[in-house]
Amino acid sequence: MTSAQAELVYFEKDYDEMGHVPNDGPICAAAANINSFVYLRNHFRGVYGDTDLIPDWDESGMVDYDDEVESRDKMADGWTNDYGVHRPGIYGSGNSGTARQIWENTYWWFQDFAPDTSVFDGQVHVLGPLNWVGAEVLEYAYPHWAFLWDSLAAGVDIELGICLPPFCSNGHAITLAGLAFDDLDGDGRWDEGEDPMQIGYLDPNKTWEYTWADITLGTSGRIEFEWWQTGTTYYVYRAYTEGSALVPGDATGDGIVDELDAARLAAHWGFGDATWDMGDFDGDDLVGPGDAAILASHWGYGTGGPTEGGAPPVPEPSTWLLLMGLLACFLARRLSRSAL
């Protein structure tokens, strides 16, 4: 969502969708990861709601805060997957929370608990080759503002590593929650030529609210800001992202949101025990108005539509009539039931 104050615009994630698991000891990267994964599970329920991205560790039949805490501890100390393969965790088995250890354990977590659901990306500035598991998508660079903006606008998870200059000491991990910029053209989105102003983040050392900080762009465009806990300048040395491999509204799985997806949704309207390919995009096991709203808001994805910077395509009138008719039927049923 966006909010404007003069020309300064804040673009941020919904705080209530984020995890709020604290850093219990020096395991900040594990806490930051799980807080990000909770966001993914809440924001993309149609993708992650039926996975074990946050497992029901206590087998209570629902995923709750205790499961999030247990996930943090497993991410930190290690876990064994269903095939008997032990993962060391970010800080277990002699690990110390290096950029590589954070990346690889994040990658393994998705392979073990939510396979085939997600895509990964990242920028990281570390010494040595990036010959890590799954690191072919990583770019050796200081994370740039444009990369953070594109990731945030796409709704993906973004975990940041920050440290003290000049030798990247006293590292800490946070979850990116928002960006603020000077919105010259008033469109609510950052564009080249508009000044980056602030970064917003959820700190596992301060989970009860977002923290905002003014930024400066330093060496090679690296992002620098004053960390609230010490009052000293830190810089961002890594940004890892995880996002849904499925496009919201794309029931057919062809990477495009169009009339074919609307027809698929319409054919299963009102169905229970529904799946993604039937049109259940919000993960409530029912094809209904929430799913139609998701499809409509992503209409044209993959065809140069608004989410990709092109002009919004014009849907066939018959498609909109179909969706509007379904919604009208739903409302009519609601009204008739309430009158009984």
Residue 332 has pLDDT above 70, yes or no: no
| Mean pLDDT lowest among 205-214, 215-224, 287-296 | 287-296
Indicate the Cα dihedral angle 327, 328, 330, 333, nearest 10°. Answer: 180
Answer yes or no: do 191 and 284 share one domain.
no
Residue 338 has pLDDT above 70, yes or no: no
| Mean pLDDT lowest among 12-16, 116-120, 277-281 | 277-281
| Residue 50: predicted pLDDT | 84
| Predicted confidence (pLDDT) per residue in 231-265, tens digit | 999 999 999 999 988 888 888 888 888 889 988 99
Classify residue 251: in a domain, yes or no. no
Classify residue 253: in a domain, yes or no. no
Model confidence band, residue 335 (pLDDT cutoffs 50, 70, 90):
very low
Answer yes or no: do 93 and 34 share one domain.
yes
Answer yes or no: do 205 and 64 share one domain.
yes
Answer yes or no: do 45 and 110 share one domain.
yes
Please say whether the dihedral angle defined by the alpha carbons of residues 96, 102, 103 and 105, taken in this order, is positive or negative: positive
Choosing from 217, 244, 271, the residue where a domain stops is 244
Answer yes or no: do 235 and 283 share one domain.
no
Classify residue 232: in a domain, yes or no. yes
| Residue 105: predicted pLDDT | 98
Classify residue 254: in a domain, yes or no. no
**Matching residue, tokens 């994040």:** 106
CA–CA gap between residue 289 and residue 274 (Å, rounded): 14
Classify residue 250: in a domain, yes or no. no
| Predicted confidence (pLDDT) per residue in 42-83, tens digit | 988 888 988 999 999 999 999 999 999 999 999 999 999 999
Residue 336 has pLDDT above 60, yes or no: no
| Predicted confidence (pLDDT) per residue in 162-178, tens digit | 999 999 999 999 999 99
Model confidence band, residue 91 (pLDDT cutoffs 50, 70, 90):
very high
CA–CA gap between residue 207 and residue 22 (Å, rounded): 6
> What's the pTM?
0.82
Classify residue 335: in a domain, yes or no. yes
CA–CA gap between residue 111 and residue 276 (Å, rounded): 20
Answer yes or no: do 273 and 230 share one domain.
no
- Domain extent for 168: 2-244
CA–CA gap between residue 336 and residue 277 (Å, rounded): 30
| Count: domains in the chain | 2
Choosing from 244, 279, 300, the residue where a domain stops is 244
| Residue 128: predicted pLDDT | 78
**CB 145 within 8 Å of CB 221:** yes
Answer yes or no: do 277 and 233 share one domain.
no
Average pLDDT over residues 22-29: 94
Answer yes or no: do 266 and 132 share one domain.
no
Average pLDDT over residues 261-278: 88
Choosing from 244, 277, 294, the residue where a domain stops is 244
Q: Residue 124 sits in a domain of what CATH number?
A: 3.90.70.10
pLDDT above 90 as % of the chain: 63
Answer yes or no: do 190 and 289 share one domain.
no
Residue 25 has pLDDT above 90, yes or no: no
| Residue 256: predicted pLDDT | 87
Classify residue 58: in a domain, yes or no. yes
Answer yes or no: do 218 and 293 share one domain.
no
Answer yes or no: do 301 and 201 share one domain.
no
Looking at every residue in the chain, the average pLDDT score rounds to: 88
Classify residue 136: in a domain, yes or no. yes
Answer yes or no: do 280 and 234 share one domain.
no
Residue 230 has pLDDT above 60, yes or no: yes
| Residue 310: predicted pLDDT | 46
| Predicted confidence (pLDDT) per residue in 96-147, tens digit | 999 999 999 999 999 999 999 999 999 999 987 789 999 999 999 999 999 9
